[in-house]
Structure 1
Amino acid sequence: MSPEIATYIGYAASFFIVLSFALKNLRKIRIVNMVGCICFVIYGIFSGMLWPVIIPNALLCFVQVYHLIADKKKQ
Protein backbone atom coordinates (compact mmCIF):
# COMPACT_ATOMS: atom_id res chain seq x y z
CA MET A 1 0.00 0.00 0.00
CA SER A 2 1.32 3.44 -0.84
CA PRO A 3 2.18 5.81 2.01
CA GLU A 4 -0.41 8.29 0.70
CA ILE A 5 -3.24 5.80 1.03
CA ALA A 6 -2.08 4.88 4.54
CA THR A 7 -2.11 8.58 5.42
CA TYR A 8 -5.68 8.96 4.13
CA ILE A 9 -6.73 5.94 6.21
CA GLY A 10 -5.16 7.64 9.24
CA TYR A 11 -7.13 10.81 8.53
CA ALA A 12 -10.32 8.77 8.13
CA ALA A 13 -9.61 7.06 11.45
CA SER A 14 -9.22 10.41 13.18
CA PHE A 15 -12.45 11.63 11.59
CA PHE A 16 -14.43 8.62 12.82
CA ILE A 17 -13.03 8.88 16.35
CA VAL A 18 -13.88 12.58 16.58
CA LEU A 19 -17.32 11.94 15.05
CA SER A 20 -18.03 9.31 17.70
CA PHE A 21 -17.71 12.04 20.36
CA ALA A 22 -20.35 14.14 18.62
CA LEU A 23 -23.03 11.44 18.62
CA LYS A 24 -25.60 10.85 21.36
CA ASN A 25 -26.88 7.34 20.62
CA LEU A 26 -24.61 4.87 22.44
CA ARG A 27 -24.94 2.16 19.80
CA LYS A 28 -23.96 4.60 17.03
CA ILE A 29 -21.07 5.88 19.14
CA ARG A 30 -19.72 2.35 19.55
CA ILE A 31 -20.09 1.51 15.86
CA VAL A 32 -18.48 4.72 14.60
CA ASN A 33 -15.68 4.45 17.18
CA MET A 34 -15.08 0.84 16.15
CA VAL A 35 -14.76 1.88 12.49
CA GLY A 36 -12.21 4.48 13.57
CA CYS A 37 -10.29 1.90 15.59
CA ILE A 38 -10.23 -0.51 12.65
CA CYS A 39 -8.93 2.27 10.41
CA PHE A 40 -6.21 3.05 12.96
CA VAL A 41 -5.18 -0.62 13.07
CA ILE A 42 -4.93 -0.67 9.27
CA TYR A 43 -3.02 2.62 9.35
CA GLY A 44 -0.60 1.25 11.95
CA ILE A 45 0.03 -1.91 9.96
CA PHE A 46 0.67 -0.15 6.66
CA SER A 47 2.76 2.61 8.22
CA GLY A 48 5.43 0.22 9.42
CA MET A 49 3.86 -1.86 12.19
CA LEU A 50 3.29 1.00 14.64
CA TRP A 51 2.56 -1.14 17.69
CA PRO A 52 1.61 1.79 19.96
CA VAL A 53 -1.17 2.56 17.45
CA ILE A 54 -2.16 -1.03 16.62
CA ILE A 55 -2.42 -2.56 20.10
CA PRO A 56 -4.69 -0.06 21.89
CA ASN A 57 -6.98 0.36 18.89
CA ALA A 58 -7.30 -3.40 18.39
CA LEU A 59 -8.17 -3.77 22.08
CA LEU A 60 -10.70 -0.94 21.88
CA CYS A 61 -12.27 -2.58 18.85
CA PHE A 62 -12.78 -5.80 20.82
CA VAL A 63 -14.25 -3.79 23.72
CA GLN A 64 -16.74 -2.13 21.36
CA VAL A 65 -17.74 -5.48 19.84
CA TYR A 66 -18.19 -6.97 23.31
CA HIS A 67 -20.47 -4.14 24.43
CA LEU A 68 -22.47 -4.19 21.20
CA ILE A 69 -23.09 -7.92 21.64
CA ALA A 70 -23.82 -7.61 25.37
CA ASP A 71 -26.27 -4.75 24.80
CA LYS A 72 -28.01 -6.73 22.05
CA LYS A 73 -28.52 -9.67 24.44
CA LYS A 74 -30.14 -7.37 27.04
CA GLN A 75 -32.85 -6.31 24.61
Structure 2
Amino acid sequence: MEIFGISLTEWIGYIASFFVAISFFMGNIIRLRIVNSVGCIAFIIYGVLIDSWPVIVTNAVIVGVNFYYLFIDKATHRVKADEVQP
Protein backbone atom coordinates (compact mmCIF):
# COMPACT_ATOMS: atom_id res chain seq x y z
CA MET A 1 0.00 0.00 0.00
CA GLU A 2 1.35 3.40 -0.97
CA ILE A 3 0.25 6.92 -0.17
CA PHE A 4 1.74 9.63 -2.40
CA GLY A 5 4.22 7.07 -3.69
CA ILE A 6 5.53 6.28 -0.20
CA SER A 7 5.02 2.85 1.32
CA LEU A 8 3.14 2.38 4.59
CA THR A 9 6.35 1.13 6.19
CA GLU A 10 8.16 4.35 5.28
CA TRP A 11 5.24 6.44 6.59
CA ILE A 12 5.55 4.69 9.95
CA GLY A 13 9.28 5.52 9.96
CA TYR A 14 8.54 9.18 9.15
CA ILE A 15 5.89 9.37 11.87
CA ALA A 16 8.30 7.81 14.36
CA SER A 17 11.00 10.30 13.40
CA PHE A 18 8.55 13.17 13.76
CA PHE A 19 7.54 12.19 17.31
CA VAL A 20 11.11 11.61 18.45
CA ALA A 21 12.26 14.92 16.95
CA ILE A 22 9.33 16.91 18.33
CA SER A 23 9.96 15.46 21.81
CA PHE A 24 13.24 17.39 21.97
CA PHE A 25 11.32 20.67 21.83
CA MET A 26 9.30 19.84 24.96
CA GLY A 27 10.03 21.92 28.03
CA ASN A 28 8.17 19.57 30.37
CA ILE A 29 10.15 16.37 31.00
CA ILE A 30 7.00 14.29 31.50
CA ARG A 31 5.55 15.41 28.18
CA LEU A 32 8.96 14.82 26.55
CA ARG A 33 9.07 11.24 27.80
CA ILE A 34 5.50 10.52 26.67
CA VAL A 35 5.98 11.96 23.17
CA ASN A 36 9.38 10.29 22.86
CA SER A 37 7.84 6.96 23.89
CA VAL A 38 5.18 7.30 21.19
CA GLY A 39 7.94 7.83 18.64
CA CYS A 40 9.97 4.92 19.97
CA ILE A 41 6.96 2.59 19.86
CA ALA A 42 6.41 3.65 16.24
CA PHE A 43 10.10 2.91 15.60
CA ILE A 44 9.65 -0.55 17.14
CA ILE A 45 6.79 -1.20 14.71
CA TYR A 46 8.94 0.15 11.87
CA GLY A 47 11.82 -2.09 12.97
CA VAL A 48 9.55 -5.14 12.94
CA LEU A 49 8.30 -4.27 9.46
CA ILE A 50 11.82 -3.89 8.06
CA ASP A 51 13.16 -6.79 10.16
CA SER A 52 15.84 -4.68 11.88
CA TRP A 53 16.78 -5.92 15.35
CA PRO A 54 19.04 -2.92 16.14
CA VAL A 55 16.09 -0.55 15.61
CA ILE A 56 13.77 -2.75 17.68
CA VAL A 57 16.16 -3.29 20.60
CA THR A 58 17.39 0.30 20.84
CA ASN A 59 13.90 1.77 20.88
CA ALA A 60 12.58 -0.89 23.25
CA VAL A 61 15.34 0.08 25.72
CA ILE A 62 14.46 3.77 25.37
CA VAL A 63 10.75 3.03 25.99
CA GLY A 64 11.80 1.04 29.05
CA VAL A 65 13.86 3.95 30.39
CA ASN A 66 11.01 6.38 29.75
CA PHE A 67 8.56 4.01 31.46
CA TYR A 68 10.89 3.71 34.46
CA TYR A 69 11.17 7.45 34.94
CA LEU A 70 7.47 8.08 34.29
CA PHE A 71 5.98 5.42 36.54
CA ILE A 72 8.53 3.74 38.82
CA ASP A 73 11.02 6.41 39.90
CA LYS A 74 8.49 8.84 41.38
CA ALA A 75 9.84 8.89 44.94
CA THR A 76 13.35 10.03 44.04
CA HIS A 77 12.13 13.19 42.30
CA ARG A 78 10.49 14.73 45.34
CA VAL A 79 11.99 18.06 46.33
CA LYS A 80 13.33 18.30 49.85
CA ALA A 81 12.40 21.34 51.93
CA ASP A 82 16.00 22.61 52.06
CA GLU A 83 16.26 22.51 48.22
CA VAL A 84 13.40 24.95 47.64
CA GLN A 85 14.51 28.37 46.48
CA PRO A 86 12.57 31.46 47.67
TM-score, normalization: structure 2? 0.76
Aligned partner of 1:62 among 51, 60, 64 = 64
Aligned length: 72
Q: TM-score, normalised by structure 1?
A: 0.87
Give the letter aligned to residue 63 of structure 1.
V
- Percent identity between matched residues is 46
Structure 2: gaps of 5 or more residues: 79-86
Name the counterpart of 1:28. Answer: 31
Higher strand share: 2
Q: Following superposition, which runs of at least 4 residues in structure 1 exceed 2 angstroms of deviation? A: none
Q: Secondary structure at the match of 2:24?
A: helix
Q: Any stretches of 5+ residues in structure 1 without a counterpart?
A: none
Q: Deviations over 1:34-63 (max 9, x none)?
A: 00000000000011x201111010010011
Matched, 1:13 2:13: no
User: How many Å separate the matches in 2 of 1:8 and 1:16?
Assistant: 12
